[in-house]
């Protein structure tokens, strides 16, 4: 089983409004709601790929109930801990032109904070993952809730060290580096995040590759680095290097593209293992499916439509 962890899931309210004026009443011409958070996004993409997963983390209030209902409707098992106070966050995404400005359409985001987690709630989460074991994946994605210490992921990985499960960590900064000694199966920093960790220029490809190899030397098995419009590269568990240019297409949506890459890589690796491929061949196959899923999300209003994923994968 694949378990995804999203400590701070969200409902994105995406509103389109042209001639937006601050300090005034504006009328939107379109509005849509999307249920997400990084691990939740991974679960949605896995569902599109035909793979079951269980979504873990915290929800609160009526917004949390709505998010769990959306997961249920998509056929995803939601096993969140319900907090007694607060609400699952709502993120406001405003798209459109600005009144009086001769400029292209812009996007402004205001992200909610999320509820507060105490020690009892964290203990309840640790009890919930106690049965994760051999053959399972545990995917830790995204930021922490208010009140959660920076070593939260490291504490989880330490507790799971002898479980036999494979860990994926999609996080930034110290949260990521503290996880490395526990040998996560996959980490996926982007170029900006990697540059911050290794103290190099995000446009210096050689320095980024050296930085990725250093993270591997510190414990990460597979290091996949996304570079936006510049493509991506991966250092496989075998030590082999692969890179790929960005797949060409019209950018529609940037939200969830990285999460889609994670979902595609894990699914691709599982398919390769089931087919009896070598570690290197499995990494290459997983990398390709990750690229296809990330691009399918970028070219669509939402997450990785199955048909588009298959079309893009056939091009690789």
pLDDT in tens, 268-306: 999 999 999 999 999 999 999 999 999 999 999 889 999
What are the φ and ψ backbone dihedral angles of 30, each rounded to 5 degrees? -160, 150
pLDDT averaged per 10 residues in sequence order, the chain, 316 residues: 96 93 93 95 97 97 97 95 95 88 83 91 95 96 86 94 96 92 96 95 96 98 94 97 94 90 98 97 98 96 94 94
What is the reported pLDDT for 106? 86
β-bridge pairing 2-6 and 53-60: parallel
Q: Which of 87, 170, 191, 259 is catalytic?
A: 259
> HSE of 83 in the Cβ direction (CA atoms, 13 Å)?
28
What is the reported pLDDT for 170? 95
Q: In a 10 Å sphere around its CB, with 0-12 CB exposed, 13-18 middle and 19+ buried, how is residue 11 labelled?
A: buried
pTM for this model (two decimals): 0.93
What is the reported pLDDT for 149? 87
What is the reported pLDDT for 228? 87
First-to-last alpha carbon distance for the chain, in angstroms, is 28
Residue 158 annotated to the active site: no
- Give the C-alpha distances (Å, rounded to integers) separating 132 from 3, 48, 69, 164, 255: 8, 23, 24, 8, 29
What is the reported pLDDT for 209? 98
Q: Which residues pair with 265 in a beta bridge?
A: none
């Amino acid at each position: 089983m694949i378990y995804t962890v999203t400590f701070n899931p969200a409902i994105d309210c995406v509103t389109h409004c042209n001639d937006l004026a601050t300090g005034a009443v504006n009328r939107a011409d379109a509005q849509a709601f999307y249920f997400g958070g990084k691990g939740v996004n991974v679960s949605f993409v896995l569902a599109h790929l035909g793979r079951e997963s269980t979504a873990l983390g915290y929800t609160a209030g009526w917004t949390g109930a709505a998010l769990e209902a959306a997961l249920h409707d998509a056929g995803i098992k939601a096993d969140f801990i319900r907090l007694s106070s607060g609400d699952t966050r709502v993120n406001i995404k405003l798209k459109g032109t600005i009144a009086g400005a001769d400029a292209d359409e812009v996007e402004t985001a205001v992200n909610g904070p999320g509820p507060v987690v105490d020690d009892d709630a964290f203990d309840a989460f640790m009890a919930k993952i106690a049965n994760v074991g051999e053959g399972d994946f545990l995917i830790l994605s995204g930021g922490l809730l208010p009140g959660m210490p920076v070593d939260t992921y490291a504490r989880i990985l330490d507790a799971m060290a002898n479980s036999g499960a494979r860990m994926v960590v999609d996080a930034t900064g110290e949260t990521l580096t503290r996880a490395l000694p526990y040998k996560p199966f996959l980490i996926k920093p982007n170029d900006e995040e990697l540059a911050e960790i290794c103290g190099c220029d995000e446009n210096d490809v050689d320095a980024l590759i050296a930085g990725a190899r250093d993270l591997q030397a510190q414990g990460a098995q597979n290091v996949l680095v996304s570079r936006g419009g510049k493509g991506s590269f991966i250092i496989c568990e075998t030590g082999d290097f692969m890179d790929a240019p960005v797949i060409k297409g019209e950018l529609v949506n940037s939200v969830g593209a990285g999460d889609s890459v994670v979902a595609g890589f894990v699914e691709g690796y599982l398919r390769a293992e089931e087919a009896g491929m070598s570690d290197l061949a499995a990494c290459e196959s997983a990398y390709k499916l990750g690229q296809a899923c990330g691009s399918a999300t970028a070219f669509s209003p939402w997450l990785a439509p199955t048909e588009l994923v298959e079309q893009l994968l056939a091009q690789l």
